[in-house]
């Protein structure tokens, strides 16, 4: 089996993905396979997230986006939702010092108005503490849905058209992109999904038009640096054509 050191030697640091997105899946299944409550899986997944963030900083990756809580996750049992919200608060207060020490800037993708004041306070604290950092842009997708994001952007643009601020002829891909949560950031080059499922689950629908996908059976709590490096090496071995042709 290839080692982390071998993967690092294979990695071309001059052509790393600028933006990596991750669907952190499999926490509940990981816990249940061990006879534990699903919440243990969410707790265990925090170490995986910590390792990935640190590695992104070490490698100089510009943007990391993780799918932390989707608009569909509200359908889960209230007890699990409450645990996830408590875990989010704990994570932000516990990790913010290290994140700032590593020059990480925290950004939220999604509508946080549905969260409790305690959750919103933790989010506001993390954003404020890290706002002047200029290293890794760490996007936490919270109460996020790709369809909602596109609809919301469309409504804002439509309102500007109605007010005469934008002409219909000015509407194009660049304009819509500037009204998304990820405005000003490069689109994902690589999307990683753990735990074996091969679907998008309403994540960054506009932004991943030409993103490379990397799926693994590894469940998120078991995902470590070596798996992230495997994804990067695999990404660098692909030929990206963006709808055109590639000749060797």
Catalytic positions, written as ranges:
25, 73
What are the phi and psi torsion angles at 169 (to 5°)? Answer: -65, -15
DSSP the chain: ---HHHHHHH--GGG--SEEEEE---HHHHHHTTT--HHHHHHHHHHHHHHHHHHHHHHT-SEEEEEEEEGGGGGS-HHHHHHHHHHHHHHHHHHHHHHHHTT-EEEEES-GGGS-HHHHHHHHHHHHHHTT--S-EEEEEEEE-HHHHHHHHHHHHHHHHHTTSS-GGG-SHHHHHTTSTTTTSPPPSEEEE-TT-----SSSTTTTTTPEEEE-SS-GGG--HHHHHHHHHHHHTS---TTS----
């Amino acid at each position: 089996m290839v080692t982390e050191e071998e993967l690092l030697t294979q990695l071309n640091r001059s052509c790393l993905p600028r933006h990596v997105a991750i669907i952190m899946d499999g926490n509940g299944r990981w816990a249940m396979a061990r006879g534990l409550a699903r919440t243990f899986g969410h707790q265990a997944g925090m170490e995986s997230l910590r390792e990935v963030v640190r590695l992104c900083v070490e490698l100089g990756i510009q943007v990391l986006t993780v799918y932390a809580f989707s608009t569909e996750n509200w359908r889960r049992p209230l007890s699990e939702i409450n645990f996830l919200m408590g875990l989010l608060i704990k994570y932000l207060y516990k990790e913010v010092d290290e994140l700032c020490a590593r020059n990480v800037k925290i950004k939220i993708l999604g509508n946080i108005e549905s969260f409790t004041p305690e959750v919103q306070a933790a989010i506001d604290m993390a954003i404020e503490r890290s706002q002047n950092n200029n290293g890794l842009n760490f996007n936490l997708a919270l109460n996020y849905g790709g369809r909602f994001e596109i609809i919301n952007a469309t409504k804002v643009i439509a309102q500007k058209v109605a007010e005469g601020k934008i002409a219909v002829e000015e509407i194009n891909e660049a304009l819509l992109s500037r009204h998304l949560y990820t405005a000003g950031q490069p689109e994902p080059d690589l999307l990683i999904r753990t735990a074996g499922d091969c679907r998008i689950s309403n994540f960054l629908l506009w932004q991943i038009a030409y993103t490379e996908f990397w799926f693994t059976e590894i469940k998120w709590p078991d995902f470590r640096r070596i798996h992230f490096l495997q994804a990067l090496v695999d990404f660098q071995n692909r030929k990206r054509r963006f709808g055109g042709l590639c000749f060797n």
